[in-house]
Amino acid sequence: MARARAFMWYGAAIICLIVSYPTIFYARYLNVRGKFVRRNWYANVVVSRLCRVMFYMTGSRIKIEGRENIPLDAPCLFVSNHQGHLDSVIIQGFIKKPKGFVSITQYERVPILGSWMAHMGSVFIDRNDIRQTFKTITSAADNISLGHSMVVFPEGKLNDGKETFEFQKGWLKMVRNNPIAIVPVTIKGSYKILSYNGKSMRPARIECFVSPPIYAEGMKKGDEENFLLGLRNTILEKL
């Protein structure tokens, strides 16, 4: 049953993306006209709706706490743990603020999905190319400076509900010299929905906690380890 549910979900998700395809031409039009803020907002609205549909198609339910901690009139950097494949779907679908993701190039290559993510203001990292990764983080920092929020998963990979991995520090370049709010996000239970190998799916009860923002402006390199440890502990407190 779990395998059949996963198969049907993938099919339905593909149909949703195909149905959304005609609307992507407006995002492309805005991009050509240089109206990037409008493009980001439009793409986020469309993809947020798609993500909510895709989440509820799993049969799962979600509880969100701490929405009042999200800055309303300024960009921020959402920093989340990474339990399962649907973490991005959860953040995009249920945290209502235009944002892009620091993601991997594999998603950029997915037809339609990759285009939507790019129009949302996402950037893509090639894990096998350190120089390209540095440029991507710089691009994400530029997006933030231009007033666009971003999302990063500092573990760098799924932990599948096991012990949360140590946080990588390359992403700190985005905030080291920027007074932007860093908003910790804790996702609990997402690994239960779609298995690590992606072959089985079960409904689950998911909890998502948005903690009060913290800041890293002026942080020196010698302070990075303690900062990451404190941020990780803030996220883990809600698990």
Structure confidence by residue, pLDDT tens digits, 176-234: 878 899 999 999 999 999 999 999 999 999 999 999 999 987 788 788 999 999 999 99
Domain span at residue 183 reads 2-236
How many CB atoms neighbour CB 34 within 10 A?
9
pLDDT for res 103: 95
pLDDT for res 129: 84
Q: What is the pLDDT of residues 123-168, one digit of tens each?
A: 999 988 888 888 999 999 999 989 999 999 999 999 999 999 999 9
Residue 232's domain is classified under what CATH number? 3.40.1130
86 closest CA partner among 211, 8, 182, 203? 203
Decide if pLDDT at 31 tops 80: yes
pLDDT for res 176: 81
What is the tally of structural domains in the chain?
1
pLDDT for res 223: 87
Helices 24-32 and 36-56: angle between axes, nearest 10 degrees: 160
Decide if pLDDT at 48 tops 90: yes
pLDDT for res 134: 87
114 closest CA partner among 149, 88, 145? 88
Tokens of 165: 């991995």
pLDDT for res 55: 98
Whole-model pTM: value is 0.95
Among the residues of 57-176, which ranges form H helices? 87-94, 105-108, 113-119, 130-145
